[in-house]
């Protein structure tokens, strides 16, 4: 064997590295077992000032809120129902357990505190779900990208080391509101941008009438349907790659130019390019007109104008036409043409405005809906006082919770390894392959 090692130094180094790695893993496991079994290390009495426990001793009636930060943790402690709601503030960054050895994970203050609060122990030989102190474990983080990061790190920990909690239906995610809106004496909390948009549109449609070029009036339920169609189109446009200008694609949709059959015919493609350019001119200020549309031999369209001495060029190419987003919009072409081929008139009380596109309709209705509304955006849970936190996130009769479940364990296992592990290449490939599907990017 020694002679073979001398003749194959590269393979020998690999074997030795594997031996050292296995020995380190055995030593880490031994230390971890000692740590988990050491009297008092995972004792709840070691959590002074951290865990605000509840009075209830029946796990089935008890809830534990894992709260991001001391500020929100303080408000949650004051606003909770002390009878059955416990609060554990998590300070600082949670360890990514996908990249950490077991002994290193247990040396993390936040992870150790969490294990202690749950009462189940940790590890293959020491975890006992029957000792779980709370049958509702609720992750409560801010409604921003940092909160999403902390939530993901916690989910990674639970999936890798306490999957029985997920399988037993004990793990939940709180849905704190992102906005508070006030209109007169009425207050309302809204979970996200989508709910805010719906609220403003609801207010903007009060008493509104849309009259299309054929003289048909749309109000009430009919107008709600028209606006829902417009919102759907705007949502699809928002998914497009930034290289495709949404206002041009929108006008191309109204012209029927997102249909591959239209662009496959040279005469029809040229007519569509000219028609779209004329529509763009009507949408532009007088000093910003001069759009020229050109049909390309490869089945695409270009649109150009010279603005303040600078040539502006945009392309609608075959890749966009073949995309699922373009197909979805094209399926609505008939309705879009009926509503927007000629300008419609939106009347709200004494105001009138021309509408030439779905995005313009949504913007105008929301603009009306904003009048008289005081809007507050919560950057974090810590900005809410205890009463607000109770009303929105803690009160069982008013709050919104998502129960965490695992439908495809193998797929979830692969996803956690890919996104949270050490290997960069699979993560980069995953992100790049889905880059065009991103609707909301917080950078």
Structure tokens at 366: 């929301």
Hey, which residues are catalytic here? Answer: 68, 142, 144, 146
Q: Under a CB-based contact definition with an 8 Å cutoff, are residues 232 and 253 in contact?
A: no
Report d(CA 68, CA 147) in Å as an integer.
Answer: 7
Q: Would you call 11 exposed, middle or buried from its count of C-beta atoms within 10 A (0-12, 13-18, 19+)?
A: exposed
What lies within 8 Å, CB to CB, of 129 at 6+ separation is: 120, 164, 165, 168
Structure tokens at 17: 């590295």
Q: Under a CB-based contact definition with an 8 Å cutoff, are residues 94 and 150 in contact?
A: yes
Report d(CA 362, CA 196) in Å as an integer.
Answer: 13
Report d(CA 21, CA 28) in Å as an integer.
Answer: 10
- Helix (H) and strand (E) counts for the chain? 19, 15
How distant, in Å, are the alpha carbons of 63, 220, 442, 443 from that of 136? 5, 43, 30, 33
Structure tokens at 388: 């607000």
Report d(CA 190, CA 199) in Å as an integer.
Answer: 8
Determine which helix (DSSP H) or strand (DSSP E) holds 186, and give its type and residue range: strand 186-190
Report d(CA 249, CA 240) in Å as an integer.
Answer: 9
Report d(CA 111, CA 270) in Å as an integer.
Answer: 64
Q: Under a CB-based contact definition with an 8 Å cutoff, are residues 304 and 233 in contact?
A: no
- Measured in whole angstroms, the distance separating CA 70 from the mean position of its chain's CA atoms is 24
Q: How many CA atoms lie within 13 A of 88 on its CB side?
A: 22
Report d(CA 123, CA 59) in Å as an integer.
Answer: 21
Report d(CA 334, CA 106) in Å as an integer.
Answer: 61
Structure tokens at 144: 């921003």
Q: How far apart are the first and last CA of the chain?
A: 56
Q: Under a CB-based contact definition with an 8 Å cutoff, are residues 355 and 364 in contact?
A: yes
Q: How many CA atoms lie within 13 A of 16 on its CB side?
A: 10
Report d(CA 158, CA 176) in Å as an integer.
Answer: 21
């Amino acid at each position: 064997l020694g002679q073979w090692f001398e003749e194959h130094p590269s393979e020998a180094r690999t074997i030795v590295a594997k031996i050292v790695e296995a020995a380190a893993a055995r030593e880490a496991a031994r230390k971890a077992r000692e740590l988990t079994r050491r009297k008092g290390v995972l004792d709840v009495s070691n959590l002074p000032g951290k865990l605000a426990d509840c009075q209830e001793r029946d796990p089935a009636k008890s809830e534990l809120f894992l709260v991001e930060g001391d500020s929100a943790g303080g408000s949650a402690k004051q606003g909770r129902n002390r009878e059955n709601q416990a609060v554990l503030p998590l300070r600082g960054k949670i360890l990514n357990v996908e990249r950490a050895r077991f002994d290193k994970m247990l040396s993390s203050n936040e992870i150790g505190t969490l294990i202690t609060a749950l009462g189940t122990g940790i590890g293959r030989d020491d975890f006992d779900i029957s000792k779980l102190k709370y049958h509702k474990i609720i992750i409560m983080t801010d409604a921003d990208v940092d909160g999403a990061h902390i939530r993901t790190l916690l989910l990674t920990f639970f999936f890798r080391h306490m999957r029985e909690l997920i399988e037993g239906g004990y793990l939940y995610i709180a849905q704190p509101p992102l906005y508070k809106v006030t209109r007169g004496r009425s207050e309302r909390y809204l979970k996200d941008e989508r709910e805010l948009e719906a609220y403003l549109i609801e207010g903007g449609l009060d008493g509104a009438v849309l009259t299309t070029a054929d003289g048909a009036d749309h109000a009430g339920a009919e107008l709600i349907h028209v606006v829902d169609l417009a919102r759907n189109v705007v949502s699809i446009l928002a998914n497009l790659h930034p290289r495709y200008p949404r206002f041009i694609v929108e006008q191309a949709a109204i012209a029927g130019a997102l249909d591959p059959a239209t662009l496959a015919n040279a005469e029809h493609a040229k007519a569509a390019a000219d028609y779209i350019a004329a529509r763009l001119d009507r949408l532009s200020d007088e000093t910003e007109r001069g759009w020229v549309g050109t049909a390309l031999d490869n089945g695409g369209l270009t649109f150009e104008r010279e603005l303040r001495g600078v040539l502006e060029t945009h392309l609608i190419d075959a890749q966009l036409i073949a995309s699922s987003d373009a197909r979805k919009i094209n399926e609505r072409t008939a309705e879009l043409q009926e509503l927007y081929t000629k300008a419609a008139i939106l009347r709200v009380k004494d105001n009138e405005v021309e509408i030439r596109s779905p995005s313009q309709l949504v913007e105008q209705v929301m603009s009306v809906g904003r009048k008289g509304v005081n809007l507050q955006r919560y950057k974090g849970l810590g900005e809410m006082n205890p009463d607000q936190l109770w009303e929105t996130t803690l009160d069982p009769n008013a709050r919104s919770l998502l129960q965490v479940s695992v439908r495809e364990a193998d797929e979830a296992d692969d996803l956690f390894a890919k996104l949270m592990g050490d290997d960069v290449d699979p993560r980069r490939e995953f992100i790049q392959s889905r880059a065009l599907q991103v609707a909301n990017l917080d950078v």
